[in-house]
Chains A and B, each alone.
Chain A
Amino acid sequence: GAVVSQHPSRVICKSGTSVKIECRSLDFQATTMFWYRQFPKQSLMLMATSNEGSKATYEQGVEKDKFLINHASLTLSTLTVTSAHPEDSSFYICSARPLRGEINEQFFGPGTRLTVL
């Protein structure tokens, strides 16, 4: 089946530093990748949608300069949290839609837990 990986699975950083999270589709090419944020005991909130080779589309209220998204290839998207602060601590989940397949398919990564001290 389609597998999406995320790296790292867990990261702890100091306030003010930047953190990069990678999302990879391991056995398929993804036209579109999605980044979600999930606070404890809450639902997934879409942050942004990225298409390979083009700029990401951010949801309302998500700062594009703070959450930098790069979708450089059909199998890799990265999310960089710049100048992280404690309020950025959360669980970040990526999701990928295959280039080929049913258009409503979307596969999720295992998530990355970010803790900012």
Chain B
Amino acid sequence: AQTVTQSQPEMSVQEAETVTLSCTYDTSESDYYLFWYKQPPSRQMILVIRQEAYKQQNATENRFSVNFQKAAKSFSLKISDSQLGDAAMYFCAYRSAYNNNDMRFGAGTRLTVKP
């Protein structure tokens, strides 16, 4: 079974600085999707960014970018120019391309942004 590991339970960053959240996963599949979700105090899950495994180019969404290393099974999230509103729980998730009903989440990383 696929597993997703987030080794950083908590991270903090100074406002306007850059922070990187780590995520590794374990799979024997060749095709899959990876996601980063943000869960603010409201508990609403918000999609931050997603990456298709077959794409070599790293996904970017404004201040958010990923470093996708398929061979290393690593999918880190970089947040540039951090803002107070970025403070939240961040979950890394994996979904198989062969079973779209199976999305696995990591344990999450709580990000604090210091003013």
Chain A interface (Cβ < 8 Å from any Cβ of B):
32, 34, 38, 42-46, 49, 57, 91, 93, 95, 97, 103-104, 106, 108, 110-111
Contacts and interface: CB of A to CB of B under 8 A. Distances in A.
Nearest to B108: A43
A91 B43 contact: yes
Interface residues of B, number: 19
A43 B106 contact: yes
A32 B99 CA distance: 13
Interface of B: 33, 37, 42-46, 50, 52, 91, 95, 100-103, 105-108
Nearest to A95: B45
A70 B47 CA distance: 26
Contact of A110 (B42, B107, B108): B42
A110 B106 contact: no
A94 to B, nearest CB: 10
Nearest to B45: A108
Given A43-B91, A104-B33, A104-B50, A110 B44 contact: yes
The 3 A-B pairs with the shortest beta carbon distances in the complex, nearest first, are A108-B45, A43-B105, A111-B43
Contacts of B52: 104
A57 B101 contact: yes
